[in-house]
């Protein structure tokens, strides 16, 4: 694919002191859908995910488990690697911050920041949250029980005083604001952009970027009493995975990243600290950071203590992988918070996948199988209604491409469902079952229009539901090399007389077992 347009998309790297949950699955899945869509649309794509394995939290968790930090990291990193595979994700790489390639890159970046005069030695005194791996100002703290202080996230904080290297973040306020103004799409959605700009306008403090109170981290070059602040270490993964500090080769091809997908709780690190580190080192900032919302469970905040963590493997086993992929990106406007409920999941599966999409494909292909000798029917002249239906189907690629470029996955899927609903209305009005007796030639044209509509839908739902879409394309005898988005529209239209296999249902209705929750 030499000479193709490139697209580099990343998940945040996931912290290894815990097991994967629905939030991790959501971010990884969104990136996978972007990566698949862009590949289908002719881009040379690199999709990165991985694990963040250093820091005090890992050291404490490992100690509590009676393990070494490396053993805990190995065990839990494998869980995240398995989750990506279980979600049928197409990541090209999986980076771990304990890998030599990463440690080399972080130390090289540190050296660049020192060389630029943006790192100096001082001492840190202030409120620190081990759980968040973040420092908080007095004005950011909230009241906790018994007069205690908590981070704005609700995490406990402790007063820390120790020697520390600092990054001169305060010097970057005006340059960051100028960067945001020059790149209006670099932070999305708009609410997060406004939040970041407001934070930067409020004034930036220099950032403590090393610790001496624990040892599980990347040593500071030339001063190994210090390990690097976990966020400076973690953020560097996006360039260590593409060969930094070598700025030729893979780095030159892929950087700056087209899209960092993150949860809204870490937007500050990605949209303030990370661009400042990069610009200070003479490197380009990423093109776009998109911060999505959080899920609740049946209206309740998800927490381990409540015991309502949603485990992705359980959902997949119960409902099916493509159904879970579809629901998570369909149910909530991407960027907003969302509530997971089993009732909503089943409703989407039965009303939209089974009744709308599945029924359209099944009845169209079954009628072709029965009435057209199992071949793509011959088509006669098109009526205005035929042209309208085909125009809607063939125009879908433009609408979905626009929505995907804005990470509005729910809009992309709604655009597809507009076509599905239109096609179900078209088949009811045209009544090809009646035309069989009165005008078989016209019946053939109607069924060709329906099959062609399903072909375009199946091409465009591949990124979201790869297995189900592949089965639909198989049933339309679409060759594996004819499934890219440049085949949408008449460029890849079905050829009359092509033999089709016996149609099979793709989206079964979900029937709840008695006694199930």
Cα 471 to Cα 236: distance, rounded to the nearest angstrom: 40
User: Which secondary structure element, helix H or strand E, spans residue 121, and what is its range?
Assistant: strand 119-129
- What topology does CATH give the domain 342-492? Isoleucyl-tRNA Synthetase; Domain 1 (1.10.730)
What one-character-per-residue DSSP string does 192-234 give?
Answer: HHHHHHHHHHT----EE-EESS---SPEETTEEEEEE-HHHHH
Radius of gyration of the chain (CA): 26
Count of C-beta atoms within a 10 Å radius of residue 71: 12
CB 137 within 8 A of CB 126: yes
Helix (H, G, I), strand (E, B) or coil at 334: strand
Domain boundary assignment for the chain: 342-492
Mean pLDDT, the chain cut into blocks of 10 residues (517 residues total) = 83 90 92 98 98 93 94 96 97 98 98 98 89 86 91 91 95 98 98 98 95 94 94 97 97 98 95 98 98 84 70 92 97 90 95 98 97 96 98 98 98 98 98 96 98 98 98 98 97 97 96 62
CB 195 within 8 A of CB 271: no
Cα 217 to Cα 98: distance, rounded to the nearest angstrom: 9
- Provide, for the chain, the percentages of residues in helix, strand and coil under a 3-state DSSP scheme, each rounded to the nearest 5: 50, 15, 30
Place of tokens 């920041």: 113
Nearest to 450 by CA among 349, 371, 340: 371
Q: Residue 10, exposed/middle/buried by CB under 10 A (0-12, 13-18, 19+)?
A: buried
Tokens (6 digits) for 172: 């970057």
CA angle, 308 as apex, 33 and 21 as ends, to 5°?
A: 30
Does a cis peptide bond (omega within 30 degrees of 0) precede residue 256?
Answer: yes
pLDDT value of position 304: 65
pLDDT value of position 496: 97
Sheet containing 119-129, strands listed edge to edge, beginning at the edge strand earlier in sequence: 134-136, 119-129, 158-167, 207-208
The whole-model pTM stands at 0.93
Helix (H, G, I), strand (E, B) or coil at 320: coil
pLDDT value of position 517: 46
Helix 409-430 vs helix 321-330: crossing angle, to nearest 10? 110
Cα 426 to Cα 429: distance, rounded to the nearest angstrom: 5
pLDDT value of position 125: 86
CB 106 within 8 A of CB 116: no
CB 260 within 8 A of CB 10: yes
Cα 234 to Cα 231: distance, rounded to the nearest angstrom: 5
Cα 491 to Cα 485: distance, rounded to the nearest angstrom: 10
Place of tokens 């968040």: 132
């Amino acid at each position: 694919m030499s000479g193709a347009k490139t697209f580099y998309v990343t998940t945040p790297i996931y912290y290894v002191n815990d097991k994967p949950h629905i939030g991790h699955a959501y971010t990884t899945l969104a990136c996978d859908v972007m990566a698949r869509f862009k590949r289908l649309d002719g881009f040379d794509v690199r999709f990165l995910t991985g694990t963040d394995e250093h820091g005090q939290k890992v050291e404490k968790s490992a100690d509590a488990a009676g393990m070494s930090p490396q053993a805990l990291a190995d065990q839990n990193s494998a869980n995240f690697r398995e989750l990506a595979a279980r979600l049928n994700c197409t990541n090209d790489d999986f980076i771990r911050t304990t890998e030599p390639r990463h440690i080399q890159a972080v130390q090289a970046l540190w050296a660049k920041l020192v060389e630029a005069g943006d790192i100096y030695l001082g001492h840190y005194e202030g409120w620190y949250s081990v759980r968040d791996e973040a420092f908080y100002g007095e004005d950011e703290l909230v009241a906790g029980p018994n007069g205690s202080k908590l981070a704005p996230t609700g995490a406990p904080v402790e007063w820390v005083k120790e020697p520390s290297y600092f990054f001169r973040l305060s010097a970057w306020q005006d340059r960051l604001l100028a960067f945001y103004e020059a790149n209006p799409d670099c932070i999305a959605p708009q609410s997060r952009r406004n939040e970041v700009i407001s934070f930067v306008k409020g004034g930036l403090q220099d950032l403590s970027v090393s610790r001496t109170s624990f040892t599980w981290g990347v040593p500071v070059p030339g001063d190994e009493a210090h390990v690097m602040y976990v966020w400076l270490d973690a953020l560097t993964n996006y360039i260590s995975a593409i060969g930094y500090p070598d700025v030729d080769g893979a780095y030159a091809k892929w950087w700056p990243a087209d899209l960092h997908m993150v949860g809204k709780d870490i937007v500050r690190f990605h949209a303030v600290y990370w661009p400042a580190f990069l610009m200070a080192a003479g490197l380009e900032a990423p093109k776009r950071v998109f911060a999505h919302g959080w899920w609740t469970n049946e209206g309740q905040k998800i927490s381990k203590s409540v015991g309502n963590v949603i485990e992705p493997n359980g959902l997949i086993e119960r409902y099916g992988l493509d159904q879970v992929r579809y629901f998570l990106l369909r149910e909530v406007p991407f960027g907003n918070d969302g509530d997971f409920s089993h009732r909503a999941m089943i409703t989407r599966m039965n009303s939209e996948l089974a009744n709308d999409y599945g029924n359209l494909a099944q009845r169209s292909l079954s009628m072709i199988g029965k009435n057209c000798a199992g071949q793509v029917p011959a088509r006669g002249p098109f009526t205005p209604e035929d042209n309208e239906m085909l125009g809607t189907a063939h125009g879908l690629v433009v609408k979905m491409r626009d929505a995907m470029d804005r990470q509005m996955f729910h809009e992309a899927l709604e655009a597809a469902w507009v076509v599905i609903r239109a096609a179900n209305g078209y088949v009811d009005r045209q009544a090809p079952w009646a035309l069989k007796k009165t005008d078989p030639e016209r019946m053939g044209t109607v069924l060709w229009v329906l099959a062609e509509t399903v072909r375009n839908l199946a091409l465009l739902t591949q990124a979201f539901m790869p297995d189900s879409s592949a089965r639909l394309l198989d049933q339309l005898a679409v060759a594996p090399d004819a499934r890219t988005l440049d085949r949408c529209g008449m460029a890849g239209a079905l050829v009359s007389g092509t033999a089709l296999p016996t149609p099979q249902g793709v989206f079964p209705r979900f029937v709840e077992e008695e006694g199930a929750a």
